[in-house]
Structure 1
Amino acid sequence: MVSGCSNAASTKSEKTSEGSKKLQIVTTFYPMYYFAQKVAGSSANVELLIPNGVEPHDWEPTAKDMAKIQDSDLFIYNSRYFETWTEKVFKSINDPDLKVVEASKGIKLMDAIASEEEDHQHSEQTSSKDPHVWLSPVLAQKEVNTIANALEQADPKNKDQYQKNAAALNSELASLDSMYKDTVDKAKEKEFVTQHAAFGYLAKQYGLTQIPIAGLSPDVEPTLGKLAELTDLTKKKNVKIIYFEELTSSKVADTLAKEIGAKTEVLNPLEGLTKKEQAKGLDYLDVMKNNLESLKRSLLD
């Protein structure tokens, strides 16, 4: 299938007007694209595989997507626990020139919070590890360094540029980390309720507790028993806000909020930018700052 989609007009190592070769990079979903693009600057071409606005948990590559991966110099993904389809892709593509970069490599992953429903529905496929490391500004810096190292090895002539760009991005991520620390230091509450168990690393980084309605798959609904249990728990804790995400249905968050007289607000797991965020020209840092403002209403009010 892959060879059928590839052709002699491959974009690999596209020639610039100066006659030098530009690195061709394919990334899976938005945070990987953002980190790679920031590190690459104008020295490489970076492409996003999973379109913004598409929920990536159940996304599968088409033959055209597979060809894009094969035609690239570098393929950057977060983790086999998030992009579960990558193992099939690697078996299909046999290209010694393609460098594969797992951005979360070297980061100790936490065990996943999987609901009973997920265990029943996905059994073997359900992730045993939580892959959402990009939501911690500290771990995001580690992913940036992994990506930068891969670019430097693949394109040594632009090594200084990649190092400079990575340092600039990591400086911004360090500032973001300081903002989160300052907020949590003043926090009266240390718990927040989410529809989707995506914020475990962010919670761990800052000494917070995430109370998820569902597990790692945002489209799996809890049982009536689980919902009743959460209703009792959130009432006892006097929870005022239930967080949901815009790429999936907010039905479960709305149901729980109605039961306990709470409000719903967006907490974006950055698995893809929404149309509204794209229209406003927002990026990873902007959305993470918006998330902090949303969290403040649970932690400080």
Structure 2
Amino acid sequence: MLAFLLVISGCGSKSGGIVEDKINVMTTIYPIYEFTKEIGGDEVNVINLLPAGVEPHDWTPKSQDIVNTSKAQLFLYNGAGLEGWAPAFLKGLDKDTKVKPVEVSKGVKLISSEGDDGHGHGDEGGAEEQHDHHVDPHTWVSPKSALIMAENIRNSLVEIDPDHADRYEQRYAALKQKLEKLDESFSSQLSGLPKQEIVVSHQAFGYLARDYNLEQYAIMGLSPDAEPRAQDLVKLTKTVKEKGIRYIFFEELVSDKLAKTLASETGVETLVLNPVEGLTKEQEQKGDNYFTLMEKNLQNLTKALQ
């Protein structure tokens, strides 16, 4: 009996989160983690590199992450410039690693954002003085792009583990259905609203804006650390007043100081618009996920655009 128990416990033996008898997948951000778990099911052990409550733009990998990723079969990262550390990270993996890196945003029509990566701008075409282009990496914030990402995750799992292809296909079909339903909700509920302009704390909603005919004005750039310049804030204050904007959106993983300042200066209120880059510890405990957060986003957008 004891020998039998030892064999049983040895089956799923873990080393730093790696499970020996499963497909081990390292993911970089929460939405990729969630979609991979949904499609992978019991066949897959998914480890997300970013802990709860951490903003992805601020994060860098640790040595244990290199060790784990070297032992994994798949490394799923967003790409589109989100994980600036990825090229060096992949070079640093063990020489005999068999891990396959997959850029999950591949196939999404990327938005090239004029302006900055660090020094504030207005809307997508804003900051006339600066003409350096940066790719907007926040692909998953639109259900339309999330559908492409889910398909890439499915393909990578089928390729690495063809024996369980049927199961991956089945679970992917269920996820696809949920994402299509979410896409339909966004399309139908946002299409008839009187307003289209949203003012957000950081420029994370470009894909959402493009796919559902909204116009995004951001206080900060593509990176939430990008400090806005005084003239950008003056311009934004003017926009809020001219367009009759009633709410300024802020997000949980980024300081709400600037959003609240702008709101009080313009006499409007604040609401949350979540770029679903990660869960806070509280959201994790509540059992929130991509879908609950995106549905809350839709409610808040509907309220703000009346």
User: What pairs up with 1:205-284 in 2 under 5 angstroms?
Assistant: 205-284=211-290
Q: Secondary structure at the match of 1:111?
A: strand
Task: Please tell me the root mean square deviation across aligned C-alpha atoms, in Å.
Answer: 1.9
Structure 1 residues 161 and 239: alpha-carbon distance in aligned structure 2, compared to 1, 3 A threshold: same
Percent sequence identity is 41
Code of the aligned partner of 2:56: P
Cα distance in 1 for residues equivalent to 2:16 and 2:50 = 20
In structure 2, the CA distance between the partners of 1:31 and 1:116, relative to structure 1 (3 Å rule), is closer
**Aligned residue number for residue 122 of structure 1:** none
Report the equivalent of 2:77.
77
Give the Å deviation of 1:233. Answer: 1.4
* Superposed structure 1 runs of 4+ greater than 4 Å apart: 8-13
CA contact (8 A) 1:103 1:143 kept: yes
Alignment deviations for residues 106-135 of structure 1 (CA, whole Å, 9 cap, x no partner) = 22211025448438xxxxxx9821111101
Counterpart-to-counterpart distance in 1, 2:103 and 2:96 = 17
Please report how far the alpha carbon of residue 144 of structure 1 lies from its aligned counterpart in structure 2 after TM superposition.
0.5
The within-5 A match list for 1:153-168 is 153-168=159-174
- Count how many residue pairs are aligned between Structure 1 and Structure 2: 281
Q: Which runs of no fewer than 5 residues in structure 2 stay unpaired?
A: 1-13, 121-131
Distance (Å, rounded) in 2 between the aligned partners of 1:95 and 1:80: 27
Distance 1:9 1:243, change over 3 A: closer
User: What amino acid is the match of 2:47?
Assistant: E
CA distance in 2 between partners of 1:279 and 1:260 (Å)? 35
Question: Distance in 1 between the 2:117 and 2:207 partners?
Answer: 22
Letter in 2 for 1:33: Y
Distance 1:11 1:230 in 2: 46
Higher mean alpha-carbon deviation, 285-294 vs 232-241, is at 232-241
TM-score, scaled to structure 1: 0.89
Cα deviations by residue, 1:223-272 (Å, 9 ceiling, x for unpaired) = 11111111111111121100011111101101110110011111010110
- Equivalent-residue separation in structure 2 for 1:80 and 1:189 (angstroms): 30
Give the alignment's TM-score, normalised by structure 2.
Answer: 0.87
Contact persistence 2:49–2:65 (CA under 8 A): yes
- For residue 123 of structure 1, what is the aligned residue in structure 2? none
Q: Deviations over 1:194-231 (max 9, x none)?
A: 01110000111011111111110112221111111111
Q: Secondary structure at the match of 1:228?
A: helix
2:32 is matched with 32
Any conservation in 2 of the 1:110–1:129 contact (CA below 8 Å)?
yes
Quote the Cα distance in structure 2 between the aligned partners of 1:148 and 1:226.
42
Conservation of the 8 A alpha-carbon contact between 1:135 and 1:269: yes
Distance 2:259 2:23 in 1: 43
**How far apart are residue 95 of structure 1 and its match?**
3.9
* Pairing of 1:51-200 with structure 2 (within 5 A): 51-93=51-93, 94-95=95-96, 97-115=98-116, 117-118=118-119, 128-200=134-206
Compared with structure 1, are the counterparts of its residues 195 and 167 closer, same or farther at alpha carbon in structure 2 (3 Å cutoff)? Answer: same
AA aligned to 2:139 is: V
Q: What CA distance in whole angstroms lies between the structure 1 residues aligned with 2:67 and 2:81?
A: 23
